[in-house]
Each structure stands twice: as structure tokens, then as C-alpha cells.
């Protein structure tokens, strides 16, 4: 079956999340998604909260919808690494060590919002992680990723040609939601086949104006369209600022 999912989701288990896992599951079900992969802030969790994350993920999953637990780790070198499928806390450490432990737990390791580090990431980290966010809705633009994010991703891929690209919601509240899916073919809606598809790059990143395969490839026509849209959005934002200034 075809499944559409959203990655890197914060619930109330994170200090800045606004919805419970049950509310998130029902919100995303209503929007036509079949799976969610959580990315709760590790520093907000303790063993009891991790257990809640595991229990609530299971309780809100059935044969039509799957919630995969996941934790976002604030590691050294100013990076955040999201471990999808991770169910045990990992102490703060060097990103390469944390990625190794994510893999030990059968998880999928994503470099979150590389925009925050200017897409400058050391080769040892890029070679350890599975994927980087080619588009984080919170950081790289709500309706389309900025062309800078796409070229930043290409730069990182030069240090690891196998680096996968994921588009993430980094969801905290419904107001910043944008319809952006990870789409894949799965035999059943459960954690293992979904994680396996991610690990094997068997998915596409898709929204209304954007489509990139798991390797971050965007067709030239779409790349051109993306440039036009993001330029128009910049103009609209500038015009709005001017308008507000003159009417204040």
C-alpha cells in the first residue's frame, strides 16, 4: 500500500510542543497521513517520559496508522540529530557517538535543520548519519524550501554521496503545519518496514510544489519553478513589511 508520513514531530513531551500524541495522531489522520515519526527533545525526557512516548506511540497505532517513537538529541558541535525509531535515551555526546548508538537501537539518524550550522558539517558526521533535512518547514520556508537549503544539501552530499534527503515538519503547533509528505510503498503500516524503506532510500519527499527523491534529486523543471516561487514569496514578504511600515 501507498503510505504518506510526516517526520520529526514534537508532542507535549517536548517543552515547546502543543499537542498530545493522541491529538497529533488524530490531526494527521484527518489530513490523510498514514504514519508519524516523532522527534521529541531528548533534554526534556527522562525514563518515565520515554516510556510514555513508547506507550502512546503504540496506543495510537493500528493497521491504518503508525506512530514511530523518536528522539531529537542536542549533541556537541552545535548539532541536533533526530533518531527515528529510538526508544532509549542517549547521553549528550559527540554526534558520531550518538549516531552509532541510534544505529545500535535500529534507528534512522537525521541531521536536523542543517541551516543552523550553515550547512557546514564535518565529514565524519556526514559519513555517519543516514540523512539530512533537505527541507525543515520551520527553518527553510513553509511553502517551498529555499534554494539555499537545496544547494547546502548538495554541498554536504559531496562529502557523502550516499547521504539521503528528508523533508521534515519539525512540528510544534498546527499554525506552522504545511502539507509535506514522505511517500513510500509498504506491505504493512508498522515501524520496521517504514524504517527499512527510509534506510534503503525507498521513498520520495513530496508537497504541492516540491518533489525530491530520497537522494535529494529535483527535476530541472521543478528546480526552476522553485526558484520562481521562492523569489515571488520574498517579494510578497518585502511588500508586506513595507505596507505594514507605511500603515502603522
Q: Which of 67, 68, 99, 112 touches Zn ion by CB under 5 A?
A: 112
Between 44 and 179, name the residue whose CB sits nearer to Zn ion: 44
Q: How many CB atoms lie within 10 A of CB 1?
A: 10
Among 47-55, 105-113, 139-147, 196-204, the segment contacting Zn ion (CB under 5 A): 105-113
How many amino acids of this chain bind Zn ion (CB under 5 A)?
A: 4
State the minimum distance, in angstroms, from the CB of residue 14 to Zn ion. 7
Q: Determine the Cα–Cα distance for residues 197 and 5; give it in Å rounded to an integer.
A: 12
Per the CB < 8 A criterion, the answer to whether 6 and 37 are in contact is yes
Among 26-34, 42-50, 112-120, 173-181, the segment contacting Zn ion (CB under 5 A): 112-120
3-state secondary structure labels for all residues of 12-80: CCCCCCCCCHHHHHHHHHHCCCCEEEECEEHHHCCHHHHHHHHHHHHHCCECCEEEECEEEEECCCCCE
Q: Determine the Cα–Cα distance for residues 183 and 94; give it in Å rounded to an integer.
A: 31
Residue of minimal CB distance from Zn ion?
A: 80
Position 80 contacts Zn ion (CB under 5 A): yes
Is residue 221 exposed (0-12), middle (13-18) or buried (19+ Cβ within 10 Å)? exposed
State the minimum distance, in angstroms, from the CB of residue 216 to Zn ion. 20
State the minimum distance, in angstroms, from the CB of residue 54 to Zn ion. 19
Position 170 contacts Zn ion (CB under 5 A): yes
Maximum CA pair distance of the chain? Answer: 57
Between 112 and 226, name the residue whose CB sits nearer to Zn ion: 112
Between 56 and 133, name the residue whose CB sits nearer to Zn ion: 133
Between 112 and 182, name the residue whose CB sits nearer to Zn ion: 112
Between 130 and 170, name the residue whose CB sits nearer to Zn ion: 170
Q: Sign (positive/negative) of CA torsion 129, 84, 103, 186?
A: negative
Question: Which residues bind to Zn ion, rule: CB under 5 A?
Answer: 72, 80, 112, 170
Amino acid at each position: 500500500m501507498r503510505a504518506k508520513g510526516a517526520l520529526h514531530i514534537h508532542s507535549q513531551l517536548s517543552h515547546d510542543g502543543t499537542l498530545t500524541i493522541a491529538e497529533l495522531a488524530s490531526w494527521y489522520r484527518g489530513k490523510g497521513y498514514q504514519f508519524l515519526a516523532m522527534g521529541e527533545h531528548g533534554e526534556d525526557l527522562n525514563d518515565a517520559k520515554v516510556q510514555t512516548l513508547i506507550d502512546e506511540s503504540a496506543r495510537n497505532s493500528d493497521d491504518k496508522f503508525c506512530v514511530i517513537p523518536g528522539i531529537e538529541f542536542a549533541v556537541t558541535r552545535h548539532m541536533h540529530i533526530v533518531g527515528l525509531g529510538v526508544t532509549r535515551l542517549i547521553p549528550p555526546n559527540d554526534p558520531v557517538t550518538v549516531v552509532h548508538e541510534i544505529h545500535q537501537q535500529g534507528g534512522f539518524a537525521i541531521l536536523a535543520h542543517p541551516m543552523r550550522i550553515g550547512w557546514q558539517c564535518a565529514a565524519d558526521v556526514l559519513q555517519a548519519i543516514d540523512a539530512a533535512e533537505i527541507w525543515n518547514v520551520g527553518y527553510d520556508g513553509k511553502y517551498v524550501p529555499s534554494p539555499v537549503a537545496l544547494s547546502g544539501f548538495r554541498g554536504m552530499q559531496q562529502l557523502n554521496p550516499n547521504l539521503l534527503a528528508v523533508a521534515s515538519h519539525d512540528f510544534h503547533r498546527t499554525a506552522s503545519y504545511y502539507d509535506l509528505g514522505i511517500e513510500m510503498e509498504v506491505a504493512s503500516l508498522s515501524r520496521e518496514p517504514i524504517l527499512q524503506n527510509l534506510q534503503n532510500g525507498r521513498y520520495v519527499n513530496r508537497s504541492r510544489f516540491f518533489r525530491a527523491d530520497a537522494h535529494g534529486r529535483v527535476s530541472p523543471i521543478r528546480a526552476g519553478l522553485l526558484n520562481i516561487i521562492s523569489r515571488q514569496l520574498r517579494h510578497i514578504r518585502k511588500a508586506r513589511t513595507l505596507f505594514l511600515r507605511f500603515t502603522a
